[in-house]
Amino acid sequence: MNLILLGPPGAGKGTQAQMVVDRYHIPQISTGDILRAAVKGKTPLGARAKEFMDQGKLVPDELVIGIIEERLKASDCCSGFILDGFPRTIAQAEALQPILAKMGKSIDHVINVEVGDEELVRRLTGRRTCKNCGAMFHLIFYPPKKEGTCDRCGGFLYQRDDDKEETIRTRLKEYQRQTAPLIQYYEEKKKLRSIPGVGEQNQIFERIVIQLDALHR
């Protein structure tokens, strides 16, 4: 089963992707994780990507597509995969097709997680990160026991630049401009399955499972 997971920043795609991985035993391929690793490792790719990420902008195609192609060639993708964070644009989607075709593969389904902008801003601005160990918290959903202090190591919790409201709204505008057209693109190909992304994590995942299991009976 070869899947794409679509949805705006803060829609919970990463969480849902991991739940899909656990149920269907296919790897999650997250461009966000790959890019963050490159930024942390201070690679040439990471340095270029960081310039765009710090401004809340999408990383250009040429910095992403090659990474994805190499990852899809790995042996753990033989039985399927779930792409999380790629493609982000029509151009990337069109570039993905020949890459998969060379491997004798194609996309089976595209899951689109739908969440409104104000809910997304509420979710994302509440994130806090430990300066010391990198642990993640949320003021509403996963608050620390002591305000401003990491439960794990006692480090200082801060709001990253990309979790501030101005940056988030920039990211949402970028999403609407570049990524939202993919919804129509995959709908026309009859691959799209839209899922309401509000509610408990397990409720959202159950909606995804119902769609996928119905398609593979």
Based on C-alpha coordinates, what's the Rg of the chain? 18
Q: Which of 88, 123, 193, 207 is catalytic?
A: 88
Question: Is 50 an annotated catalytic residue?
Answer: no
Note if 71 is an active site residue: no
- Of 13, 71, 128, 207, catalytic: 13
Q: What is the DSSP letter of 62?
A: G
Q: What's the token pair of residue 183?
A: 């919804």
**Catalytic residue of the set 71, 123, 171, 193:** 171
Is residue 171 part of the annotated active site? The answer reads yes
173 is annotated as an active-site residue: no
Question: What is the number of other CB atoms lying within 10 angstroms of the CB of residue 4?
Answer: 24
- Whether residue 13 lies in the annotated active site: yes
Active-site residue identified among 40, 73, 102, 160 = 160
Q: Which residues of 191-207 are buried (b: 16+ CB within 10 A; e: fewer)?
A: bbbbbebeeeeeebbeb
Q: How far apart are the first and last CA of the chain?
A: 13
Structure tokens at 114: 């739908």
Q: Specify the DSSP element, H or E, that contains 192.
A: strand 192-196
Catalytic center residues:
13, 88, 127, 160, 171
